[in-house]
Copies of this chain bind each other. A is one copy, B any other.
Amino acid sequence: MRISELADTTGVSVATIKYYVREGLLSPGRKLSERLADYDDQHVRRLRLLRVLRDVGSVPVGALKALVDATQDRRASVHDMFGRACDALRTETAVPEVPDEHTRALADQIVARAGWTKVRPDAPERDRLAGIIKVILDSGLPTDPEGAATYLPLVDAIAAYDLDQIDDTRDREAMMEQMVLGQVVLGEFLLSLRRLAHEHHSALRFAGRR
């Protein structure tokens, strides 16, 4: 398949494909000659995946690169690969860097209470959670710290379901694809459901109210 054909079937412009190859998101085609390369179904799949992640998930190009690198590293276990995927997909929005003891303790407490015993003690996500807790406390949201307990079983059930969706008979690239798509697209799905539920519950409580 020539580059123009790849562009046509995926709806991604030739210029963008070249850009992605430059950035290492897509392997160069198999060289047929100095000025001609061959692209195959792998390229089509990869390109489609990249576009979904960017269009729907707004995943920055740098994060996509990290994802690709994690998939490529064949020495790592599936679990490690998934871990690197989570790291790459964590939107690095600014939460306090948290040198704060208290919020970090709260975060650890939440993880413990949820029963997530397999989470590394030094997982970077713990710090992010602590940062978010700090923002919540500082912003004067009326969230009682115990309130988190309400969320935990629900989140746990959702995450367990997410992981059960992954077909572990497939190769690692396919599993990675499912994991990443699940994280991003099902994440959007959940956010959308939450907004719909908000509309419903808001109507129950505040319709007609000034």
Residues of A near any B CB (own CB < 8 A): 48-49, 52, 55-58, 77-79, 82-83, 86, 90-91, 93-95, 110-111, 114-120, 123, 125-126, 128-129, 132-133, 135-136, 139, 141-143, 147-148, 150-152, 154-163, 165-168, 172, 178-179, 181-183, 185-210
Q: Are A57 and B139 in contact (CB under 8 A)?
A: no
CB of A198 to closest CB in B, whole Å: 5
Q: Are B206 and A82 in contact (CB under 8 A)?
A: yes
In angstroms, Cα B49 to Cα A160, docked, is 34
**Shortest 6 CB-CB contacts between residues of A and residues of B:** A159-B197, A118-B203, A116-B200, A78-B206, A55-B94, A154-B154
Given contacts A52-B139, A115-B200, 16 further A-B contacts (CB under 8 A): A55-B94, A56-B94, A56-B132, A78-B209, A111-B196, A116-B199, A125-B196, A139-B181, A142-B178, A147-B165, A155-B194, A159-B197, A159-B200, A160-B197, A160-B201, A190-B190
In angstroms, Cα B162 to Cα A86, docked, is 26
- Specify the chain B residue showing the minimal Cβ separation from A133: B189
CB of A110 to closest CB in B, whole Å: 8
Residues of B within 8 A of A209 (CB): 77-79, 168
Q: Are A163 and B193 in contact (CB under 8 A)?
A: no
Identical chains in the assembly: 2
In angstroms, Cα B165 to Cα A205, docked, is 12
CB of A47 to closest CB in B, whole Å: 12
Q: Are A116 and B196 in contact (CB under 8 A)?
A: yes
Residues of B within 8 A of A199 (CB): 82-83, 86, 116, 118-120, 123, 125
CB of A202 to closest CB in B, whole Å: 5
Q: Are B90 and A197 in contact (CB under 8 A)?
A: no
Q: Are B188 and A93 in contact (CB under 8 A)?
A: yes
CB-contact partner of A202 in B82, B191, B197, B203, under 8 A = B82
CB of A152 to closest CB in B, whole Å: 7
Residues of B within 8 A of A128 (CB): 192
Q: Are B129 and A196 in contact (CB under 8 A)?
A: yes
